[in-house]
Amino acid sequence: MEPKPRTLKDEVGRVYGKADMMTTAHSILFSFYDRVSLVYDFVNVAFSTWLCAMVFVDPVMAKKISPIDDDRLWLGCLAIVSFVMSIMDLRLNFKSKRDLHMRAVEFFSKMKIRARTILSDGISLDESELKMFLEEYKISAPEQVIIPDSKFNSLKKRHLMKVLVSKHLDEHPGASIILFKLRVWLRDSTCQEIEDPSDSSSGGL
């Protein structure tokens, strides 16, 4: 039996699934780089402030508040670390990566909403409008920041787990998320079956 040919609506559904996963992945990376850049800036500013403050501190007091006996050595180490962090910031550029992932989140979330609207009942679009939407995604998606291969599978895993947890909570709002994740881990690690969380007839944890 030959497989049923894919329709334009099927392609929109495929776009919805990919956009949904990419929204989650880029959201995770945005949050990661946002936290890293915040901590990085805080540490660098703290070191720089300490160095500036030591200019106005009495040498005797400087030795008392220094964590090591040689306060000059301590200040020299702080100066070197602060300088290295400033140079590394130019190379690592956490803020730029954060902003790129934020723009990707905005794009994929917008495409996900549009695809969901097209797939919803009562929405009827002609073939040209569907092709226009698919072409827009095909052209614009590759322009977004690329997720490294080394991170893709772990991000995909987190997205799929999020979907499973969300479906399970729809039916069992009082369920323990940690216990449910443990059950999924046991199922996938030992090849044991677990009831479908989207099955309305399934029981709670």
57-100 tens-digit pLDDT: 777 777 777 777 777 788 888 888 888 888 888 888 899 999 99
For residues 53, 54, 56 and 57, what is the CA-based torsion angle, rounded to 10 degrees?
Answer: 120
Distance CA 151, CA 106 (A): 20
Looking at residue 85, its pLDDT comes to 86
Instruction: Please state the φ and ψ torsions of residue 62, each to the nearest 5 degrees.
Output: -60, -40
Q: What mean pLDDT is predicted for residues 178-194?
A: 81
Looking at residue 153, its pLDDT comes to 93
Q: What is the mean pLDDT of the chain?
A: 84
Q: Which two tokens stand for residue 110?
A: 């917008």
For residues 99, 103, 108 and 112, what is the CA-based torsion angle, rounded to 10 degrees?
Answer: 110
Q: Which two tokens stand for residue 103?
A: 């723009």
Half-sphere exposure of 133 (CA within 13 A, CB side): 26
Looking at residue 105, its pLDDT comes to 95
Q: What is the DSSP string of 58-106?
A: -HHHHHHHSSSS-HHHHHHHHHHHHHHHHHHHHHH-HHHHHHHHHHHHH
At residue 200, does pLDDT exceed 70? no
Q: Under DSSP, is residue 203 helix (H, G, I), strand (E, B) or coil? A: coil
10-54 tens-digit pLDDT: 888 899 999 999 999 999 999 999 999 999 989 888 888 888 888
At residue 123, does pLDDT exceed 70? no
